[in-house]
Structure 1
Amino acid sequence: MAVERTLVLVKPDGVQRGLIPDILERFQTAGLELLGLELTYPSEDRIAQHYEEHHDEDFYPTLLDYMVDQPVIAVAYEGVEAVSTARKLVGDTEPHNAAPGTIRGDHAHITTQHANNEAKPVKNLVHAAEDRDAAERELNLWFDEGDLRPVGRLDTTHIR
């Protein structure tokens, strides 16, 4: 088991729906330590870099519009197996398939098929880095290394 860092984004629909407190609380109560947090209106360039693997997908233009339309909360977390822990908390990318108890399972309700039929983005509230390599790349895209500092939570002192 390794101490890792990961990136979580509260997407525009999570911000607009006022779900920021609930979303952030889930990561912290799972034992992930907050290292950095920023409310930002991301540029098209930053979103293009973040989602570079999706540039050729049919849904990419709606994803890009959705992600630059409203503010995003970028959050850096650290903890034991932080990447997989964050992914479990987020739930399946397809909100309709996300298990109850996950962020998407509890709060997202659109299906990919409906979004595609309506030429809309899949509003699934939150992004969590897929693996360690993605986490490192994404953290470097959203934060400067000097900006990431442990808060010093009392309940996570056992991992250091």
Structure 2
Amino acid sequence: MDGVDFDRWAVILCKPDAVARGLTARILEMVTAAGFTVTDRMDVIAEPWQAHVAYRDMLADTGRRDMRDLPAYIDAAYAGKPVTLALAHGEPGIHARLRQLIGHTDPTRAVAGTIRGDLSDDSLAVARKENRLVRNLVHTSDDPEGARREYGTWYGPGRRLQINDFDRCSVVLCKPDAVARGLVDAVLDRIAAAGATIANRIDVTVQPWQAHVHYWDLLVDADYFPDRDIPTCLDDAYAGKQVTVALAYGEPGIHGRLRQLIGHFDPTRAAAGTIRGDLGNDSLDAALEQKRLVHNLVHTSDDADAARRDFGTWYGARRRRLLTAPSADVPLQPTRTH
């Protein structure tokens, strides 16, 4: 797991009692509603060794009075039982925020609004009386090192964490006309309001090669525009101009949903309610007459392969660390690159 930033990743373990009570989906919904991105849900039949590693700190604590019985309690609670795993993505500090969300170990001491406070039906006192582990539904990683260990425990040491899942990530390019008209915030707000998580906003001064790579299809199909010099059009529209780029995260299918949201490439044909339909002020006819590109505010990646290429074009291949999916409530932090 070298190279994975576990400051931004946490493992969610929905325990056997959560599965038995049919609460797994509700727990993960509460995590999502708190602003975290939840992915990679997986159902597992727990093996004894996995539970032993998960509770290693308790098992190795020689000061515990119930040390003699603890291994039996753990085996009774977990071995051969179904659990559900998921990954939560956010910014550094995710582990402490998730621990607050799940609440106190003893459900009777967990406050309202926490997962254990709202959903649990057990108590530490009853568990001790019945000689078993307390049933408190869910565990999340304590810290980055805990997340690293728990990922290997539950997902398997041979399974590489996919930090660049372009099925769930689209690149949003706010074009020079959006920047010039002061519409970047409006465009990104519309995308966020549609359910995408926006992060890693950057301002870029466009280099010619970036416009050429981004519009490679126009350059290759230049015969379709016999009256226009496409390379010159691209340079005039983009080279040395300011654009704003951001990443939009969501579930698989995000690319199609965002393409519907931005609307037809000709703003005069874009439906009301789309970004280009509501905010565009240009037309394909005017662009053809003036032998230039149409000003249509925004681009989003067509599909996962395009998102991969768009990321390399606008962020640079060496900035892959940005691809860790963020918490939905992370504020935009603009930076400038040239």
Range into which the TM-score falls when normalised by the shorter chain: 0.7 to 0.9
Asked if the contact 2:203–2:245 (Cα under 8 Å) also holds between the matched residues in 1, the reply is yes
Unaligned runs of 5+ in 2: 1-164, 330-338
Q: Which residue, 308, 315, 335 being the options, matches 1:136?
A: 308
Q: Which residue, 284, 297, 311 being the options, matches 1:125?
A: 297
Q: Which residue, 96, 102, 109 being the options, matches 2:281?
A: 109
Q: Which residue, 89, 103, 107 being the options, matches 2:261?
A: 89
Q: Which residue, 321, 325, 329 being the options, matches 1:150?
A: 325
Asked if the contact 2:170–2:254 (Cα under 8 Å) also holds between the matched residues in 1, the reply is yes
Report sequence identity in percent: 29
Alignment partners' CA distance in 2, 1:21 and 1:95: 19
Alignment partners' CA distance in 2, 1:53 and 1:35: 27
Asked if the contact 2:207–2:240 (Cα under 8 Å) also holds between the matched residues in 1, the reply is no
Higher relative contact order (CA 8 A, sep 6+): 1
Q: Which residue, 233, 240, 246 being the options, matches 1:62?
A: 233
- Give the helix-richer structure, 1 or 2: 1
Moved more, 132-141 or 71-80: 132-141
Q: 1:69 to 1:108 in 2, by over 3 A?
A: farther
- Aligned equivalent of 1:8: 172
**Cα displacement (A) at 1:47:** 1.1
Paired residues, number: 153
Q: Which residue, 237, 242, 256 being the options, matches 1:71?
A: 242
Q: Normalized against structure 1, the TM-score is what?
A: 0.87
Alignment RMSD, CA only? 1.8
Alignment partners' CA distance in 2, 1:11 and 1:99: 20
* Partner deviation per Cα, 1:26-69 (whole Å, 9 max, x = no partner): 11111111232110111001111111111142352213321224
2:168 match: secondary structure: strand
Q: Normalized against structure 2, the TM-score is what?
A: 0.43
Asked if the contact 1:35–1:149 (Cα under 8 Å) also holds between the matched residues in 2, the reply is no
Bigger Rg, which one: 2
